[in-house]
Amino acid sequence: MGTARYIVRRLIFSAFLIIGVSIILFAMINAIGNPIEILLAERPGITDEIIESITQYYGLGGSVTDRYFTWLGAIIRFDFGTSIIYNLPVSEMLLTYGLETLKIQIPAILIALLVSVLISVLAATRQYSRIDFGVIAGAMVGHSLPGFLLGILLILLFSYWLGVLPSYGAYSTRNLLMDSMVIDGLWHMVLPVAMLAFFNTATLTLLLRASLVDVLRQDFITAARASGLPERRVVFGHALRNAFIPVLTYLGILFGLMLGTAPVTETVFTWPGLGALYIMAIQQLDYPLIMGATMIITFMLVTATLLTDIAYVIIDPRIRLA
Amino acid sequence: MAAAQPLLEVRDLKVHFFTREGVVRAVDGVDYSVNRAETLGIVGESGSGKTVSSLAMLRLVPPPARTVAGQILFDGEDLLTRTPKQMAALRGRHISMIFQNPATSLNPIYSIGAQLTEILTWHEKASRRDAEARAIELLGLVGISDPATRLRQYPHELSGGMRQRIGIARALLCNPSLVLADEPTTALDVTIQAQILELLAELQARFRMSMVLVTHDMGVVARMATRITVMYAGRVCETADAATIFNAPQHPYTRALLESMPRIDHSYAGPARRVLPSIPGRPPNLLNPPSGCRFHDRCPEAQAECRCLLPVETAVAPGHTVSCLRRGSPGIAA
């Protein structure tokens, strides 16, 4: 009863949040200046008629508010206009590139989650041991390592020296591995997923280990042990779930921003993903693409935040639904 | 009766903390025993090694502490030689513990029911339904109204006194023969304290279980304990039945402790006021304990020999042991 009302309230709040972002985005993109003038700057032979027809083509006539509502009405129908640079429907591009990004991000986050749980338990249950210090040091180095460096090292080792994994792209251009789209796709995913998973693991381990060390010191853990529960149950059942509470927020952000947070990986491995496309769109001032990608990333982040808040209510009964 | 073997016998127990600064001798050669169906009160100031020694009974001393020597005979068997698996099977089932702070000793994210039934389903392979019935029965026994509803509640929804009652119910789930109660009332309001003590005494008599009641409060042991062990700086000063400790204490520390208790028939205000006596000095740093008798630098009766000889606990009367050179205990050079 309380939960349902809470979720509805949060949904309404989320809708306002997205509209708020859309207003700010629209205002800022307009503040850059007239796109037609920027696009056609210093090109010879541009007449007023040409400017007029391009303005009409992109629907840039009329007042700012009129244009905002036209745009808002269109994006609700998942119509983000046409890319100026690629001349393709932006919605189609977001879908294609977005899915490619999810293909490497989701496995990377899930693998990182699993690995960091195992490593954190290993370290936290042996606090201040050599294993613990090793894990802290490793996670610190991993967390601070420049992204491209690991990517290049992976390519060097597995593609150049060993020659067992592809160094670029999502699929082979000529012969598919074992003549299968699936196997060939998975084969191409290995390195980018490994790179993303590595960085996520490092950060998650730092957070989770610290949280777990803290929880393992609590009285209720000693009490659970004093009740004769086996250590495995004490650690995984009683400690880990508590330790996850502070990590949940980070996990939510990780999922929420996943479309935009892999540009380095996508660039290093020439992966046709949204993160790299987004950076490119900004560099080339591809207005519809910038706006479309921003709205999609906003939508993902707001949704993930909403799910995180709901997850908090499920995992921690102390959270009051006010 | 005298020939009956005590349920728990602790011999020369030593628990040391291995810190960066050095070895802290939190429990340094402690002996005591608990007979069947009796309550042993262990009294001492903060830092006298009370809590650590009860955790040592369960072999749960937290690192950097380690039990370095001694024997813990439970039912005649040394717990320190048991395998971890045998030890786990004992915890919660034959020996259980009631913790000091009910606010932190229950898992905040599991319901009361989940926490209680988990122990039963684990130890006794009870079905969910049986475990729930048993949990409801025990919650009723510890004086919780509407136990079936409480099972579905979470610790934060209950008051401190109620949570401590649940802590007690948890300790008694499997009918243990020994319950270790570590300052079970310290974190509670005074009015609730009395209720909890009454409940513990009632349950102890009802189930004829043995109890080790660890406290710094002489008033608590006065009403609860059959026998009392007084600890100071990780060592036992004196052990005797409760009446003897209060009426004829031998050890200077026990005497000082009793004298520093406020009395209701004394006035501590007004022109004819008395000053509440206190023990001069501070509890020693166990990283560097005083030589000889640990109490010598605060003891009104200390002599030169107290500074270099460590007294050995000796019987001064049947069932009454004291470790004080001035009471005839032999000393060993230390």
**Nearest-angstrom CA–CA distance, B67 and B59:** 8
How many domains does one find in chain B?
2
Pick from B17, B51, B82, B105 the residue to mutate for testing the A interface (most A CBs within 10 Å).
B105
Where a domain ends, among B173, B191, B207? B173
Q: Identify the domain containing residue B69 by its residue range.
A: 8-94+174-263+275-333
Distance to chain A for B158, nearest Cα, Å: 12
Which of A181-185, A210-214, B84-88, B271-275 has the lowest average pLDDT? B271-275
Question: Is the same domain home to B251 and B148?
Answer: no
Give the CATH number for residue B208: 3.40.50.300
- Contact criterion met (CB < 8 Å) for B122 and A228: yes
- B109 with A230: Cβ contact below 8 A: no
> Residues B299, B303, B309, CA angle at the centre, nearest 5°?
95
ipTM over 0.95: no
Task: Indicate whether B33 belongs to any domain.
Answer: yes
Q: Answer yes or no: is B3 within a domain.
A: no
**A226, A230, A315 member nearest B60 (Cβ):** A226
Q: Are residues B322 and B244 in the same domain?
A: yes
pLDDT for res A226: 94
Same domain, B37 and B128: no
Whether residue B205 sits in one domain with residue B66: yes
Q: Which residue, of B134, B155, B173, is where some domain finishes?
A: B173
A 10 A CB-CB count for A54 gives 15
At A43, list the tokens.
């090109």
Confidence at B2, pLDDT banded by 50, 70, 90: very low
Residue B1 lies in a domain: no
Nearest to B91 among A218, A228, A241 (CB): A228
Whether chain A has a CB inside 8 Å of the CB on B106: the answer is yes
Q: Which of B97, B119, B154 sits opposite A229 (nearest CB)?
A: B119
pLDDT tens readout for residues B113-130:
999 999 999 998 889 999
**DSSP summary character for residue B162:** H
Looking at the structure, do residues B250 and B303 belong to the same domain, yes or no?
yes
Q: Does A174 touch chain B (CB under 8 A)?
A: no
Q: Which of B144, B173, B202 is the last residue of a domain?
A: B173
* Domain made up of A90-315: CATH architecture: Orthogonal Bundle (1.10)
Domain borders along chain A are: 2-76, 90-315
By mean pLDDT, which of A33-47, A117-131, A221-235, A286-300 is the weakest?
A33-47
For residues B157 and B259, state if they share a domain. Answer: no
Same-domain status, B57 and B140: no
Q: With respect to residue B2, please indicate whether it lies within any of the assigned structural domains.
A: no
Within a domain: residue B36?
yes
Q: How far apart are the first and last CA of chain A?
A: 12
Could you tell me if B128 and B20 lie in one domain? Answer: no
**What is the count of residue pairs from A and B with beta carbons less than 8 Å apart?**
79
What pLDDT score was predicted for residue B272? 65
Q: Which residues of B135-155 are buried (b: 16+ CB within 10 A; e: fewer)?
A: bbebbebbbbeebeebbebbb
Check B105 against A220: CB less than 8 A apart: yes
pLDDT digits (tens, 9 = 90+) for A224-274: 999 999 999 999 999 999 999 999 999 999 999 999 888 999 999 999 999
| Phi (first) and psi of residue B226, to 5 degrees | -80, -50
- Asked if B205 and B294 sit in the same domain, the reply is yes
Specify whether B180 is located in the same domain as B259: yes
- pLDDT at residue A1 greater than cutoff 70: no
Please check whether residues B107 and B156 belong to one and the same domain.
yes
Helix crossing, A147-154 with A181-216: angle to 10°? Answer: 130
**Percentage above 70 pLDDT, chain A:** 99
Least CB–CB distance from B156: residue in A219, A241, A318: A318
pTM: 0.86
Query: Is residue B169 included in any domain, yes or no?
Result: yes
Calpha distance A266→A108 (Å, rounded): 13
Q: Tell whether B157 and B128 lie within a shared domain.
A: yes
Chain B interface includes A62 (CB < 8 A): no
A320 vs B: CB within 8 A = no
Residue A278: which residues within 8 A CB-CB, separation 6 or more?
Answer: A260, A263, A289, A290, A293, A297
**Higher-scoring residue by pLDDT: A53, A25:** A25
Nearest to B89 among A228, A231, A238 (CB): A228
The helix/strand/coil state of A66 is helix
